[in-house]
């Protein structure tokens, strides 16, 4: 005899005639099962952003969210992409007077100086980002993605602060186009993401700032978790999911050498990681802020497929993003943390490389069929230093010039004698 199982009743959504869940006023926004009027919705978003930012800056795991963080030693560099997350975060910092231009004697600034940087990719429109930043007293900087091939990028950034415009370099644009064209379609978004990290790190090292503030939302973090797992980046994934991090990022110095973002005293702060992209977009709508989203990947890439998967699943199950981020928050880095203890870093992504990855690949994959000659080309100096995710992304690429910070790291770690031996057959 079968037993009748009682199913849990579905939660009832509030009716449209009900008022705000906080003040009882006219409701305009629905978040999960809560209705908000416009003032209460703004306070709700400010509450969550303040809880995310105040804790790491105050050095407390359970901070008093009504209090302000202590003043920081340097300025703030806001990575302004034009999306809802970074735009909402910028507006929050201005309204709460966290930045120097809005500070008063009674309300001191958390960061005395404030800069906003936007990295322009080929074919991208900028919109009104400059007006958005400068109307709030923030110095706006605009750099191009192809500047990653320019070893004097730090000097150009210093010139932009002084009002000296930079000239376009067609050679660097051609190098970036050639690099992207040499890669398979699914691998191109991965390389462009690493280029973006390197450009932001270089800009941060050239400015008197202590924090690089990113507007990555919880929805984007959920997409990053699934994408990173599918690409084989699970080893270093926990290092990318913390709110405040001093993890090293590749930066291009004046001589093309690689530096570390953490070594220069600049820390990454992901202040919007508790907001979903829907909440950030509704906040921008409530404040009348214009946003735009620019994606460089196509429908065939893992990033594009993951973005559509999370967006589709979130419409049916609103708790999808929260479940993914909470699960990812329990991940722990199994390597050794601390300066000089993370082991060798990947020259491209500047994350800790997986130990013993070459031996694992030799055991787990069949590269030569019995009785058939090997068709795989000999491994170069760069491929031997890459992590698993970057090695998979660069698999099948054609010959193209890599950014200077990648080549400089290879020269630093590979002895000159080995490099000469690798090209000895080409000497006359």
Looking at residue 236, which CATH number applies to its domain? Answer: 3.40.50.620
Give the pLDDT band (50/70/90) at residue 315: confident
* 265 and 388 belong to one structural domain: no
Q: Which residue has the higher pLDDT, 190 or 297?
A: 190
Tokens of 395: 């698999």
Please indicate, yes or no, if residue 173 is contained in any of the structural domains.
yes
> For the segment 106-123, what is each residue's pLDDT rounded down to a tens digit?
888 899 999 999 999 887
| Cβ neighbours, 10 Å, residue 66 | 8
Give the pLDDT band (50/70/90) at residue 266: confident
Tokens of 190: 């991965």
Please indicate, yes or no, if residue 409 is contained in any of the structural domains.
yes
Residue range 402-422: mean pLDDT, rounded = 72
* 89 and 219 belong to one structural domain: yes
* 152 and 287 belong to one structural domain: yes
pLDDT the model gives residue 413 = 77
Residue 421, pLDDT above cutoff 60: no
* 255 and 385 belong to one structural domain: no
* 388 and 254 belong to one structural domain: no
> For the segment 174-228, what is each residue's pLDDT rounded down to a tens digit?
999 999 999 988 888 889 999 999 999 999 989 999 999 999 999 999 999 999 9
Residue 296, pLDDT above cutoff 60: no
* 123 and 250 belong to one structural domain: yes
Q: Tokens 């993951």 identify what position?
A: 306
Helix (H, G, I), strand (E, B) or coil at 286: helix
* 400 and 274 belong to one structural domain: no
pLDDT the model gives residue 171 = 87
Element (H, E) at 251: strand 250-252
Residue 93, pLDDT above cutoff 90: yes
* 152 and 43 belong to one structural domain: yes
Please indicate, yes or no, if residue 417 is contained in any of the structural domains.
yes
> For the segment 354-399, what is each residue's pLDDT rounded down to a tens digit?
776 667 666 655 555 555 554 444 456 788 888 888 988 888 888 8
Residue 79, pLDDT above cutoff 90: yes
Residue range 25-44: mean pLDDT, rounded = 89
Please indicate, yes or no, if residue 4 is contained in any of the structural domains.
no
Q: Which residue has the higher pLDDT, 135 or 417?
A: 135
Q: Tokens 């973006």 identify what position?
A: 196
| CA–CA gap between residue 57 and residue 59 (Å, rounded) | 5
| CA–CA gap between residue 70 and residue 29 (Å, rounded) | 33
| CA–CA gap between residue 73 and residue 124 (Å, rounded) | 35
Please indicate, yes or no, if residue 114 is contained in any of the structural domains.
yes
Residue 152, pLDDT above cutoff 90: no
Give the pLDDT band (50/70/90) at residue 162: confident
Angle at 318 between CA 90 and CA 25, to 5 degrees: 65
> For the segment 235-250, what is each residue's pLDDT rounded down to a tens digit?
888 888 888 876 544 4
Share of the chain above pLDDT 90, in %: 28
Query: Per DSSP, what are the bridge partners of residue 115?
Result: 77, 139
Mean pLDDT, rounded, of the chain:
79
* 307 and 390 belong to one structural domain: no
| CA–CA gap between residue 64 and residue 42 (Å, rounded) | 19
Domain containing 324: what range?
A: 39-293+300-328
| CA–CA gap between residue 271 and residue 90 (Å, rounded) | 10
Please indicate, yes or no, if residue 24 is contained in any of the structural domains.
no
* 195 and 323 belong to one structural domain: yes
b/e sequence 165-177, b meaning 16+ C-beta within 10 Å: ebeeeeebbebbe
DSSP code of residue 345: B
- Nearest CA to 190 out of 200, 199, 180, 177 is that of 180
| CA–CA gap between residue 253 and residue 259 (Å, rounded) | 7
pLDDT the model gives residue 208 = 92
Please indicate, yes or no, if residue 339 is contained in any of the structural domains.
no
* 187 and 313 belong to one structural domain: yes
| Cβ neighbours, 10 Å, residue 185 | 12
Give the pLDDT band (50/70/90) at residue 63: low
- Nearest CA to 82 out of 281, 258, 352 is that of 281
Kindly give the interhelix angle for 218-230 and 320-328, rounded to the nearest 10 degrees.
60
- Nearest CA to 117 out of 175, 170, 156 is that of 156
Length of the chain: 428
Please indicate, yes or no, if residue 190 is contained in any of the structural domains.
yes
Angle at 159 between CA 156 and CA 160, to 5 degrees: 90
* 120 and 236 belong to one structural domain: yes
Q: How many domains does the chain have?
A: 2
- Nearest CA to 185 out of 49, 52, 304, 57 is that of 304
Residue 426, pLDDT above cutoff 90: no
């Amino acid at each position: 005899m079968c037993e009748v199982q009682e199913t849990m009743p579905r939660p009832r959504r509030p009716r449209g005639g009900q008022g705000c869940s906080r003040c009882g006023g006219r409701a305009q926004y629905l978040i999960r099962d809560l209705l908000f009027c416009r003032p209460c919705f703004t306070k709700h978003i400010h509450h969550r952003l303040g809880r995310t930012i105040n804790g790491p800056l105050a050095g407390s795991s359970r901070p008093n969210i009504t209090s302000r963080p202590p003043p920081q030693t340097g300025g703030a560099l806001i990575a302004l992409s034009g999306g809802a997350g970074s735009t909402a975060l910028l507006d929050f910092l201005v309204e709460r007077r966290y930045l120097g231009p809005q500070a008063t004697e009674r309300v001191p600034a958390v960061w005395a100086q404030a800069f906003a940087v936007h990295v322009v990719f080929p074919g991208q429109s900028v919109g009104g980002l400059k007006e958005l930043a400068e109307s709030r007293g923030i110095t706006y900087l605009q750099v191009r993605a192809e500047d990653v091939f320019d070893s004097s990028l730090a000097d150009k950034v210093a010139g932009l602060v002084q009002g000296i415009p930079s000239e376009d370099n067609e050679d660097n644009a051609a190098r970036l186009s050639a690099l992207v064209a040499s890669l398979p379609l699914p691998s191109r978004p991965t390389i462009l993401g690493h280029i973006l990290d390197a450009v932001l790190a270089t800009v941060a090292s050239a400015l008197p700032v202590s924090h690089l503030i990113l507007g990555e939302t919880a929805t984007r973090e959920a997409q990053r978790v699934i994408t990173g797992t599918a690409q084989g980046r699970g080893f270093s994934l926990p290092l990318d999911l913390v709110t405040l991090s001093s993890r090293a990022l590749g930066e291009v110095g004046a001589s093309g050498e690689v530096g570390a973002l953490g070594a220069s005293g600049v820390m990454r702060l992901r202040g919007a990681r508790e907001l979903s992209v829907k909440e950030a977009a509704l906040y921008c709508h409530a404040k009348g802020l214009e946003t735009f989203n620019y994606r460089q990947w196509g429908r065939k890439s893992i990033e594009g497929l993951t973005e559509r998967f999370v967006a589709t699943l979130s419409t049916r199950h609103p708790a999808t993003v929260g479940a993914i981020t909470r699960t990812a928050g329990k991940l722990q880095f199994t390597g050794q943390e601390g300066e000089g203890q993370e082991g060798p870093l990947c020259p491209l992504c500047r994350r800790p490389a997986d130990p013993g990855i070459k031996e694992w690949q030799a055991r787990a994959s069949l590269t030569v069929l019995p009785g058939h000659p090997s068709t795989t080309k000999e491994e170069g100096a760069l491929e031997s230093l890459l992590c698993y995710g970057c090695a998979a992304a660069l698999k099948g690429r054609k010959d193209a010039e890599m950014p200077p910070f990648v080549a400089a790291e290879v020269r630093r770690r590979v002895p000159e004698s080995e490099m000469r031996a690798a090209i000895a057959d080409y000497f006359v």
